[in-house]
Amino acid sequence: MRVILLGPPGSGKGTQACRIEEKYRLPKISTGDILRQAVRSGTPLGLKAEAMMRQGLLVSDDIVVGLVEEAVQREECRRGYVLDGFPRTLSQAESLVRIDGRRTEQVIEILIDAEELIHRLTQRRVCARCRAITSLAAKAPRGGELCAVCGGNLELRDDDRPEVIRERLRVFSAQTAPLRDFYLNRNVYSSISGKGTADEVFSRISGLLEGFLSGAAEGRRS
């Protein structure tokens, strides 16, 4: 099975994708993480993507579709995978059908209001050393602005600056929100509330996934 997490920036897709990976053994494919790693390493891909990412705009479909095509062919993705941050345009969704169209899929959109998103994104920090994500609001980070996992320095993501956040939310409404209808028409769309703690959101997602997995097992038996 493939799980696609939809939702605006700051809705918690990355955090929830990690939890799905852990509990259901579905490897996470995060196009944002792959691109950020490429930018940090200064690869040709990173150089191409960096300017768009800094402005909160989408990197070209060709680039991200190429990344996903490569990732889904890995042996570890044979049983399935969870997509975080892809697809983000109708053209990417159509490409996914071409790349791996026979796989069953479930799309879960995490719904959350704009005010809460802006609050979360401005509080979000990433550890410069281990890349763990934390929130200044969740609990006082150890020693002020230090990572609770490894003690590294916490930093604000370049695209979590207020002016870029506004642009990313605009891009989501214009280019990604139309995917709802695409997946509704394919009968694979569900949504849950993104309010509350990460544990609360994950228990809503798990509830949905358990239903899908037992439905799939029923289907195989009959």
Hey, which residues are catalytic here? 13, 88, 124, 157, 168
Task: Among 81, 159, 172, 205, indicate the residue that binds ligand AMP (CB under 6 A).
Answer: 159
3-state secondary structure of 75: helix
The answer to the question of residue 52 lying near ligand AMP (CB under 6 A) is: yes
Task: Among 7, 8, 32, 194, indicate the residue that binds ligand AMP (CB under 6 A).
Answer: 32
DSSP secondary structure code for residue 77 in this structure: G
Taking the complex as a whole, the smallest distance from the CB of residue 168 to ligand AMP amounts, in Å, to 5
Nearer to ligand AMP among residue 43 and residue 203 (C-beta)? 43
Nearer to ligand AMP among residue 83 and residue 205 (C-beta)? 83
The answer to the question of residue 50 lying near ligand AMP (CB under 6 A) is: no
The answer to the question of residue 172 lying near ligand AMP (CB under 6 A) is: no
3-state secondary structure of 57: coil
The answer to the question of residue 58 lying near ligand AMP (CB under 6 A) is: yes
Taking the complex as a whole, the smallest distance from the CB of residue 1 to ligand AMP amounts, in Å, to 20
Ramachandran angles phi, psi of 17, nearest 5°: -65, -40
Task: For strands 2-6 and 81-84, give the pairing.
Answer: parallel
What pairs with residue 83 in β-bridges? 4, 29
What pairs with residue 189 in β-bridges? 107
Nearer to ligand AMP among residue 8 and residue 189 (C-beta)? 8
Note whether 57 and 166 are within 8 A (CB): no
Alpha-carbon distance of 16 to 53, in angstroms, equals 22
Nearer to ligand AMP among residue 120 and residue 168 (C-beta)? 168
Alpha-carbon distance of 17 to 19, in angstroms, equals 5
Note whether 94 and 100 are within 8 A (CB): no
Taking the complex as a whole, the smallest distance from the CB of residue 216 to ligand AMP amounts, in Å, to 26
Q: What is the x/- site pattern for ligand AMP, positions 81-120, by CB under 6 A?
A: ----xx-x---x----------------------------
The answer to the question of residue 176 lying near ligand AMP (CB under 6 A) is: no
DSSP secondary structure code for residue 83 in this structure: E
